[in-house]
Amino acid sequence: MKLYSAPGFTSLADHIAMLEAGIQFDLVKVDLESKQIEGGGRYTDINPTGYVPALMFDDGEVLTENVAILAWIADREPELAPHGHRGRYRLIEMLSLIATEIHKRFPTYLSLPEDVREPTGQQILHWFGVVAGRLDRGYLFGETFTVADAYLFQLAWGAAQLGFRLPEPFGDYIARIEQRPAVQAALRREGLA
């Protein structure tokens, strides 16, 4: 199995989640600008959108998009998903919110000249504020780390590095998750630590 990833991008969430789940895989770095794969080859031959992540199974089938890959990981390791009879749907609900309301705004924000970024930046902060209310017990679903936390962590960690002043309790949330062994391993493997 291969995880196609670009250091520091949201594929870091999938990388973390796969390490947390104990899934064996090869990490394949992608240069998003040139769309080239480390070691040779065109990434668009793997994923025509050119976006990371992409997860290639041993049979050659490819799964793309954070929501799908993270849900697949949670299905393999149920401890990385919320429990209860609606747990799977709550997970998909949260992954979708993170993808559509926070993640999707970053490419726009980063593509804008700095002097006109503020409205998009305020939208990003608004949605981090909405999600912050869920962190009162430590993680998005209480006291247990889930694949959704891996996704939210990557975005919050990246936002903090960009200078966003995230609402509380994101400072503690980022610091706590960053200390997890799987997170440390993923950051090292991607050359980010």
Q: Could you tell me which residues are beta bridge partners of residue 64?
A: 54
Residue pLDDT, tens place only, 111-149: 999 999 999 999 999 999 999 999 999 999 999 999 999
Contacts of 80 (CB under 8 A, 6+ apart): 17, 20, 21, 73, 74, 145, 146, 147
Length of the chain: 193
For β-strands 36-37 and 62-64, DSSP reports them as unpaired
Please give the radius of gyration of the chain, using alpha carbons only, rounded to the nearest integer.
Answer: 16
- CATH architecture for segment(s) 82-180: Up-down Bundle (1.20)
Residue pLDDT, tens place only, 21-30: 999 999 999 9
Question: Is this prediction's pTM over 0.85?
Answer: yes
Residue pLDDT, tens place only, 59-102: 999 999 999 999 999 999 999 999 999 999 999 999 999 999 99
The domain locations on the chain are 2-76+182-189, 82-180
For β-strands 26-31 and 2-5, DSSP reports them as parallel
With beta carbons less than 8 A apart as the criterion, state whether 3 and 140 touch: no
Question: Is the per-residue pLDDT at 193 higher than 90?
Answer: no
Please state which CATH number belongs to domain 2-76+182-189: 3.40.30.10
Please confirm whether the linkage preceding 82 is cis (ω < 30° from 0): no
